[in-house]
Structure 1
């Protein structure tokens, strides 16, 4: 029975290609991290389904909790409630539904929705008084005039297109019956296209919205990423299907006789995340993040997916590949010729009335593409993991490689920091910002300051994700971390914030560059040596034990990518699992044959270091009891888990 249980647990992981590389190299607890925590004054009013964090200046964020807007200053440890939805009216149906930081100003764009409609305005946030007041702005008049009759949903993705003349707001609706889709508000209001012969609205959930602008406003496009409930109820059918929709941002709707005030350019295409050869796929889209180039143009989309097993995957899509599918693919269900202009083309109606009506009818009848959107270069998922991820955000490090870091939140309340190494994922670290297991409502990375903000229903935590000293005091450990934020400073002999003068190898983690640099600095006269301080535990710790006692030696695990080995007297060795926080060696009965030197070494990509070093001697006095171990408390739990892991491996081996 035990054998069957273990095989059942391991089978999905083997089929889906899940392996140890999806686990973090280092695990940081709250005692290992630089943390600052803040609690909103009235956390009971926080909307459990929606919390939004927006970066606002140095060490500060805005927190939208649904009915309230807070200004959090982590440097001064101050939290101000700067806006209450509905003001003095105390309207319980009121929610802050849209919040955007305006570029280059201290203003935010904000919309509030209640049962009676929606109002929007620009808002000046005062850091000193802790207040926010609407300020008149002619550029948003078009949005205010066209949005006031609509009730928006809290947490729905939105995009604000800023302009000195007239601005536009694109929003999504996921659950409102018969009005599901993309909306545009401004001088020209456009609502979702009603499909031909659509009897019932299919359930959607919009997860991301991004504008792709090329300089010619007539050709700008908007992409919406969402999951749609599968109408096929077969036993082997997926519950959710992932999609991307495209609309032309300049679309004003059709003529009075066809699709008036509705999208005339909207199309959708299925996304695929998985491995076709192994017939593994991840059908449920969970979250998306967008890679922006230095000029602000979006070029890649990172999609977080989940499968029926609860495993997660991250797939990367090119905006150019998405555009190609909409330009070249056949239309699902269509068996006739494609009209000209091609449906989905951004045109200014420079065509005959007859051709225009054919195109509009075609869009309404066949809105889905036959072809699917696959990962960049037809590759497998960037990351496949047994962890249950819930959010994804990106930070681009503007170095020579323009490295991309992913921050993925877990259901447990932890966060993984992942390097996209040109199509291969490397999980750098795991952070535990909360004291207890909790549900993360939103995460935000403020790249310029290397600060990660994580919110739960009761607090917001600021995490310094550039604590380079945590990687260790040796050059090799710093380089093996493969963190684009960090590099080795030879002058200071420390792992510090990366500059052009510091040493790092993000691509491979080649620690031999540490030795080569020292050798060049000495002109080859000095022998190669580790680049940094002396190895930890190089001098053995002498411990005297009573004859016949049982004792545990503990070896702390820092890198979970290393292989740990205990070296015992007589050149005997014992391998140790790096999946536990501590490697434990049991001295079952102390006697003359157990006397000697014990070393625990960690080997990672050929770099071997001493982690723990003991010299055990026995005394003639008999043991009076069971000794706890080389480091006191906390050993027994680790030993128990380790023994269970060994037992499981033995069962598998015997099969």
Structure 2
């Protein structure tokens, strides 16, 4: 048995029941006929468990375990729990949620998969309040084949037991302890919320996980997941209602690949601390400076970040009362961003000569080009590159060219203009010809003017000669 995580759950129960401690681990599935199958488990013990007086001396008297399911990967493949984080619900402890990372190796494709599943504490309590499987030789039988003793095996001390004189585990009847010693596997299986993982990825292995609860500008709470991998990467993900979880950011923590062995989050400072066997790191999880425009800030749908319309920058919304900040976490609607005063650049292109119109967005989003509000696809006269557009223009290609980024969020396409060009086409051959005509015309005009001047001078000379005679 490999113990991975131990989590204490403190509660305020009406029946005075002691607090629980949950353990998450993997082990060989004794209930399977194929004993080499490894499965994930969740176990529960009572915090005040002191062991038994004659039976289970110095051992847990309240130890119960159940199968922990996180369905992903190929049919028949088993998923193994790696790490667990508990998000406490302050208003109702039964609504607290465990987030856990899992790995799986696909037997058919050999492809490594990893996932995050979430479990509500009330669902877990229901499984542990159900029936126990009864072990007989190498078989697990239906619990109805044998009457279970009272108090219920594995129960924590509560007001009812105290009224019967059972104030500690040392006073639990031997019959109950003998039963739970031999039978501590629950019949039910703990399944995740919605019955499926929150996040699944391939060719990665999630290791550690921590969760931060972020309150957005509209007062709603969002769970942001920080997930370490066995190759030294950190993934930041968030799940919105009705959507699969999405990766907001991915960071490489170490220069050389190495597992993330520890993650700790300081809610006071907003710093995430972690380490491998050789290196340590800290990250400000509330840093929004990487979003350099309002469009980028809103399209990221990062619960930490909002656009400050007064300061003109993306900033953290945590603890802010700034009424000038805007967010759009539901669909990343950039139409609420302040309008920009972008003016098209005027460029003069030569007819038939290949020339380059640059476009370099600050994000990694794909770009597209449009001409006079219609999409311009690659063709004989237009070649779209990652950094711009090559154009071999004809006279019909004069007009407004727009380079923009596009991102689809919940089926809605969001566009952001990167740069615009007003293209004017000129024919160099025609210009030269027109220049020659102009020169000839000017020469002819100059000759005519000279001839008229000479004729005028001759007339004046003859007139002066007659006057002298």
Q: What TM-score do you get using the length of structure 1 for normalisation? A: 0.52
CA distance 1:543–1:373, change in 2 (3 Å): farther
For 1:344, the equivalent position in structure 2 comes to 154
Partners of 1:413 and 1:355 in 2: how far apart? 48
For 1:212, the equivalent position in structure 2 comes to 9
Match of 2:87 among 269, 291, 294: 291
**Cα drift, residue 275 of structure 1:** 6.4
CA distance 1:570–1:452, change in 2 (3 Å): closer
**Cα drift, residue 373 of structure 1:** 0.5
For 2:51, the equivalent position in structure 1 comes to 253
Partners of 1:337 and 1:482 in 2: how far apart? 55
**Cα drift, residue 559 of structure 1:** 5.8
Match of 1:509 among 306, 321, 332: 332
**Cα drift, residue 243 of structure 1:** 0.6
Whether the 8 Å contact between 2:215 and 2:303 is mirrored in structure 1 is no
For 1:242, the equivalent position in structure 2 comes to 40
Whether the 8 Å contact between 2:333 and 2:414 is mirrored in structure 1 is no
Match of 1:467 among 276, 287, 295: 287
Runs of 5+ unmatched residues, structure 1 = 1-203, 515-529, 576-581, 622-655
The answer to whether the aligner puts 1:365 opposite 2:182 as a matched pair is yes
For 1:316, the equivalent position in structure 2 comes to 118
**Cα drift, residue 394 of structure 1:** 1.0
Partners of 2:257 and 2:345 in 1: how far apart? 38
Whether the 8 Å contact between 1:479 and 1:504 is mirrored in structure 2 is yes
CA distance 1:325–1:481, change in 2 (3 Å): same
Partners of 1:339 and 1:232 in 2: how far apart? 22
Match of 2:225 among 406, 429, 440: 406
The answer to whether the aligner puts 1:611 opposite 2:418 as a matched pair is yes
Partners of 1:458 and 1:472 in 2: how far apart? 34
**Cα drift, residue 609 of structure 1:** 1.3
Whether the 8 Å contact between 1:282 and 1:312 is mirrored in structure 2 is no
Aligned length: 386
For 2:195, the equivalent position in structure 1 comes to 379
Partners of 1:541 and 1:274 in 2: how far apart? 57
**Cα drift, residue 362 of structure 1:** 1.5
Q: In the TM superposition, what are the counterparts of 1:130-145 in structure 2 within 5 Å?
A: none
Whether the 8 Å contact between 2:39 and 2:80 is mirrored in structure 1 is yes
> What is the SS of the residue equivalent to 2:210?
strand
CA distance 1:281–1:317, change in 2 (3 Å): farther
Q: Which has the higher contact order (CA 8 A, sep 6+)?
A: 1
Whether the 8 Å contact between 1:545 and 1:616 is mirrored in structure 2 is no
CA distance 1:281–1:481, change in 2 (3 Å): farther
CA distance 1:462–1:594, change in 2 (3 Å): farther
Whether the 8 Å contact between 2:72 and 2:115 is mirrored in structure 1 is no
CA distance 1:282–1:478, change in 2 (3 Å): farther
Partners of 1:570 and 1:447 in 2: how far apart? 48
Q: What TM-score do you get using the length of structure 2 for normalisation? A: 0.70
Partners of 1:449 and 1:549 in 2: how far apart? 55
> What is the SS of the residue equivalent to 1:260?
coil
**Cα drift, residue 268 of structure 1:** 0.1
Whether the 8 Å contact between 2:26 and 2:80 is mirrored in structure 1 is yes
> What is the SS of the residue equivalent to 1:471?
coil
> What is the SS of the residue equivalent to 1:358?
helix
Q: In the TM superposition, what are the counterparts of 1:355-504 in structure 2 within 5 Å?
A: 356-376=173-193, 378-386=194-202, 387-398=204-215, 400-422=219-241, 424=243, 425-474=245-294, 476-498=295-317, 499-500=320-321, 501=323, 502-504=325-327
Partners of 2:348 and 2:38 in 1: how far apart? 61
For 2:402, the equivalent position in structure 1 comes to 599
Partners of 1:239 and 1:611 in 2: how far apart? 55
For 1:327, the equivalent position in structure 2 comes to 129
CA distance 1:385–1:572, change in 2 (3 Å): same
CA distance 1:355–1:452, change in 2 (3 Å): closer
> What is the SS of the residue equivalent to 2:190?
coil
> What is the SS of the residue equivalent to 1:360?
helix
Partners of 2:277 and 2:48 in 1: how far apart? 39
> What is the SS of the residue equivalent to 2:175?
helix
**Cα drift, residue 438 of structure 1:** 4.2
CA distance 1:331–1:602, change in 2 (3 Å): same
> What is the SS of the residue equivalent to 2:196?
coil
Partners of 1:421 and 1:571 in 2: how far apart? 34
Runs of 5+ unmatched residues, structure 2 = 106-110, 135-139, 379-384, 429-469
Partners of 1:339 and 1:233 in 2: how far apart? 26
Partners of 2:171 and 2:271 in 1: how far apart? 56
CA RMSD, aligned part only? Answer: 3.9
